Amino acid sequence: MAIQPIILAGGTGSRLWPLSRELYPKQVINLTGELSLLQNTLKRVAELPDILPPVVVVGEEHRFMTKTQVEELGVFPEYHIVLEPVGKNTAPAICGAARFAAQKGAADDVLLVLPADHLVTKLDAFVEAVAAAVELAGQGKLVTFGIVPDHPETGYGYIAQGQGAEVERFVEKPDLAKAEEYIARGNYLWNSGMFAFTAHALIEEMGLHAGDVVACMEAAVSEGKFDGVFFRFDKKLMADCPADSIDYALMEKTSNAAVVKADIGWSDIGSWRTLWEVAGKDEQGNVASGDVILEDVENSLIRSEHTLVAAVGLKDTMVIETADAVLVAPMDRSQDVKKIVDRLKKEKRGEFQVHKTVYRPWGSYTTLELHDRFQIKRITVNPGAKLSLQMHHHRHEHWVVVSGTAEIVNGDESILLHEDQSTYIPSGTRHRLGNPGVIPLELIEVQVGSYLGEDDIVRFDDEYGR
């Protein structure tokens, strides 16, 4: 029986702000090494036997970043990226992915559903746990992975395990006293959010407990469309789907659930504290990365992304620096970072959504200066890539090439520019920027005008379908 991986790569990881942003979520960030959490998940899956090409479920806005990371990893020559045009939690996402997998012939294979943003350090134990789950799923069970707890955690839900693989009950996140009671009992496991079942068994059982989700997502897949390597659920039909988690919609209601006890070195990296807990520490218990100088600092997480961070006399503290924001908080308040993110979102501040560097399918741009009537950007275009043919109503642009070769359409003119050459593009002029070379193109863009928003773009042709 083959294994069909379903990788859930939605969400933003708001408790890991300011590093994780709405358009740069934690699953694509290198938090624990040279690879992102998504890439580590795919690499881990590649070690399993009888693996089919993975299906990665991702939000519309993260599709190109996800595609780039899958291809950079290079372990799966074939893969599928399924796009959610609107987020509706895990029940619709998993149901839709299961229907998509069934549609391409994997109805009787075992779907292995894994969040993209989890850390697993014991690979051999993970492979063994998956093998046990595949066996149970082959018997028609809906299998969840229960993590063997090593401390009374209040941030996770729990699963009470009965005889063998029986699930006695699911329980919500407890307070500390209740969590300590669960640990003392010995049969309570952390609810990991990882699952294994056949598409047939999942859809049949969801039809009993969440028939409206099944109906909506079957229609959303049936009316969905391929867009190059992407498959997009129908937006209107998915928008009508109830939003619910797979736990609430199905696992807590079904009598067909089973649990595999898994001691796999697992963490969901759900906060800065959990990252500190799993990371390597110095002799003073600190986790430091980037350009950091510490003096008399203990049991702290200090991370620099952009500039020197110096800390003196701190204890049990986290300091996270990015180019446009700094977070300072006691380590035991790491769950409250989400409150800051909620305020940023409510106040419509850009730090909620993006970094100063914004990634696009063709490369990236970094905002260096931003004022009322002008801004300065550094633009990087990947070899062979090009931006859309576009124009702006309210701004003029000046481009200066720093390195590489720029292929430019400027009105009726097509030109090649090299290092230290420039061009001027008046407002209302159709223009396009491309990189015909084999090295990245770097240029400085100066925008001048009465309105400089990113929504002042009229696209006439775009190979990325935006």
Q: Torsion angle of alpha carbons 349, 350, 354, 355, nearest 10°?
A: -110
pLDDT for residue 12 is more than 80: no
Report the mean per-residue pLDDT for the chain: 93
CA nearest neighbour of 43 among 73, 5, 6:
73
Residue 150: its pLDDT value, please?
A: 86
Residue 211: its pLDDT value, please?
A: 92
pLDDT for residue 119 is more than 90: yes
> Which CATH number, 1.20.810.10, 3.40.50.1860, 2.60.120.10, 2.60.40.740, labels domain 357-461?
2.60.120.10
| Residues 36 and 29 sit within 8 Å (Cβ to Cβ) | yes
CA angle 375, 328, 173 (to 5 degrees): 115
CA nearest neighbour of 456 among 433, 427, 434:
427
Q: Parse the chain into domains and list their residue ranges.
A: 3-267, 274-340, 357-461
Mean pLDDT of 387-397: 95
Position 422 confidence tier, pLDDT thresholds 50, 70, 90 = very high
Residue 147: its pLDDT value, please?
A: 94
Mean pLDDT of 72-89: 92
- Which CATH topology does 3-267 take? Spore Coat Polysaccharide Biosynthesis Protein SpsA; Chain A (3.90.550)
Residue 104: its pLDDT value, please?
A: 85
Position 403 confidence tier, pLDDT thresholds 50, 70, 90 = very high
Determine how β-strand 230-232 pairs with β-strand 80-84. parallel
Mean pLDDT of 83-107: 91
Handedness of CA 431, 432, 437, 440 (dihedral sign): positive
Convert the pLDDT of each residue in 137-177 to its tens digit.
Answer: 999 999 999 999 988 888 889 999 988 899 888 988 888 99
For the entire predicted model, the pTM comes to: 0.86
Residue 130: its pLDDT value, please?
A: 96
Kindly give the residue spans of alpha helices, DSSP state H, lying in 148-198. Answer: 176-185
Convert the pLDDT of each residue in 24-58 to its tens digit.
Answer: 889 999 888 889 999 999 999 999 999 999 999 99
| Chain Cα centroid distance, residue 398 | 34
Convert the pLDDT of each residue in 273-304 to its tens digit.
Answer: 999 998 999 999 999 999 999 999 999 999 99
Q: Both tokens of residue 220?
A: 């959303």
Query: Across the chain, which distance is largest between two alpha carbons, in Å?
Result: 76
| Cis status, amide bond into 436, omega within 30 of 0 | no
Mean pLDDT of 393-407: 96
Mean pLDDT of 332-343: 94
pLDDT for residue 13 is more than 80: no
Position 11 confidence tier, pLDDT thresholds 50, 70, 90 = confident
| Residues 308 and 247 sit within 8 Å (Cβ to Cβ) | no
Residue 454: its pLDDT value, please?
A: 86
| Cis status, amide bond into 361, omega within 30 of 0 | no
Report the first-to-last Cα separation within the chain, whole angstroms: 39
Q: Both tokens of residue 22?
A: 């709405």
Residue 145: its pLDDT value, please?
A: 96
pLDDT for residue 198 is more than 90: yes
In percent, the amount of the chain with pLDDT more than 70 equals 100
Residue 462: its pLDDT value, please?
A: 86
pLDDT for residue 400 is more than 90: yes
CA angle 77, 80, 81 (to 5 degrees): 125
Number of alpha carbons in the 13 Å side-chain half-sphere of residue 274: 20
Task: Write the CB contacts of 5 (distance below 8 Å, at least 6 apart in sequence).
Answer: 45, 48, 51, 52, 54, 55, 111, 112, 114
User: CA of 317: how far to CAs of 62, 255, 281, 288, in Å?
Assistant: 32, 45, 14, 12
Residue 61: its pLDDT value, please?
A: 86
